[in-house]
Amino acid sequence: MLLGVFFLIIGILMITQTRKVWELTDGKRSRNATGPTPFYLWTNRLIGVCFIVVGVINIQDYLA
């Protein structure tokens, strides 16, 4: 269940705070550091949705 909550929190952060996630993970590696590309933002949000689904399934499996 703890793993499910972790996935749920990370997924929510990836959807709502996409630019902050970019600053923490890839911002320092960018040469011009102008910001993430639109493709990066959408990909991160899609992965965030996947994390939420995995988290919900994990929690539901634990409670069942």
pLDDT of residue 53: 97
What pLDDT is stored for residue 9 in this prediction?
96
pLDDT on residue 61: 93
- pLDDT for the residue 30: 72
CA atoms of 18 and 46, how far apart (whole Å): 11
Neighbours of 21 (CB within 10 A): 22
Residue 34 has a pLDDT of 79
Tell me which DSSP letter residue 28 carries.
Answer: T
The tokens for 5 are 């909550």
pLDDT digits 0-9 by tens, 11-61: 999 999 998 988 888 877 777 767 888 998 999 999 999 999 999 999 999
